């Protein structure tokens, strides 16, 4: 049980570290047009703090998105709107085609980058570059395929589609962007970069309840705490199981001795030593 938890923890840590520990996730609550921030303002924040921040990408999702190619569809696919910076920040490696570019974002082009599961599931080894797929009825052109990360399994990180966040705005008819991913200039500067972001947001909202910022390192610490608690619980369950099992075995051995008192007496009368009798019961047990 402990080994299973350790394996789970190692897998999670590997996923976090593969994205980099210098990333900072920011969530913003919608407070109306008078108190909000735009992707353009976030980009300006990065440009004004080049020593602390290396990049930013808005992140939007289409909830319950259905991806379809022809008559075949996939109901579990993650569809995320991002900017051209996201690929480098999240270490997404394109093995075929290209990632989203500035002009895709600026002109709200309906281009997309797909995970390896989507490529295999819908195109069965054929080159998907230039092919069309539909997301909630909206037609997108595939411009890139990402490197396999999770054995191309359904509902894994390979079962994903990335599109311009500006295109998501057009589809959902909602201009508000509530999630951003920042990249600190260096992992040693992550805390300072996070402070610069929170100070800027506080100057706009005048309340720390309107936003939340968390670094990958902090998320990793939370995972550490959670898996540590799970480990303690599982060790307790295993200890109780061993104790109960031990008591059961002890009672079975005791009963077997009690039921064979006559046999023990006969053997002793024939010259059996204490060790002979004990060794017999130990072997049988």
Tens digit of each residue's pLDDT (9 = 90 or more) over 135-186: 888 999 999 999 988 777 877 888 899 999 999 888 888 888 889 999 998 8
- pLDDT value at residue 140: 94
What pLDDT, in 10s, does the model give residues 51-74? 999 999 999 988 778 888 877 777
Contact between residue 148 and residue 197 where contact means Cβ atoms under 8 Å apart:
no
**CA pair distance 35, 28, nearest whole angstrom:** 11
Contact between residue 189 and residue 52 where contact means Cβ atoms under 8 Å apart:
yes
- pLDDT value at residue 48: 93
Higher pLDDT, 252 or 80: 80
Give me the chain's average pLDDT, please.
87
* CA-closest candidate to residue 87, choices 132, 143, 140: 143
Q: What is this structure's pTM?
A: 0.74
pLDDT of 80 above 90: yes
pLDDT of 30 above 70: no
- pLDDT value at residue 84: 94
Name the E strands within the chain. 23-28, 53-61, 67-69, 72-74, 78-82, 94-97, 111-114, 132-135, 138-146, 160-164, 179-184, 211-215
Q: Which residues pair with 182 in a beta bridge?
A: 24, 56
């Amino acid at each position: 049980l402990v080994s299973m938890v350790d394996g789970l923890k190692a897998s999670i840590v590997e996923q976090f570290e593969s994205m980099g520990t210098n990333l900072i996730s920011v969530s913003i609550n919608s407070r109306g047009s008078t108190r909000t921030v735009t992707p353009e303002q976030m980009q300006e924040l990065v440009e004004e703090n080049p020593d602390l921040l290396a990049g930013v990408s808005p992140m939007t999702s289409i909830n319950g998105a259905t991806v379809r190619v022809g008559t075949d569809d996939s109901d579990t696919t993650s569809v995320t709107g991002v900017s051209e910076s996201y690929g480098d920040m999240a270490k997404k490696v394109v093995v075929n085609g290209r990632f989203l570019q500035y002009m895709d974002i600026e002109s709200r082009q309906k281009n997309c980058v797909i995970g390896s599961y989507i490529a295999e599931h819908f195109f069965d080894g054929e080159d998907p570059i230039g092919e069309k797929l539909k997301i909630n009825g909206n037609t997108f052109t595939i411009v890139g395929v990402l490197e396999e990360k999770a054995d191309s399994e359904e509902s894994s990180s390979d079962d994903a589609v990335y599109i311009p966040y500006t295109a998501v705005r057009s589809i959902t008819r909602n201009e508000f962007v509530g999630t951003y991913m920042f990249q600190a200039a260096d992992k040693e500067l992550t805390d300072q970069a996070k402070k610069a972001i929170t100070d800027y947001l506080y100057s706009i909202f005048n309340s720390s309840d309107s936003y939340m910022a968390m670094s990958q390192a902090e998320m990793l610490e939370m995972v550490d705490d959670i898996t540590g608690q799970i480990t303690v619980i599982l060790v307790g369950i295993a200890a109780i199981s061993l104790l109960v099992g031990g008591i059961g075995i002890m009672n079975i051995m005791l009963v077997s001795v009690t039921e064979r008192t006559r046999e023990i007496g006969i053997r002793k009368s024939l010259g059996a030593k204490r060790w002979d009798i004990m060794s017999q019961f130990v072997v049988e047990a």
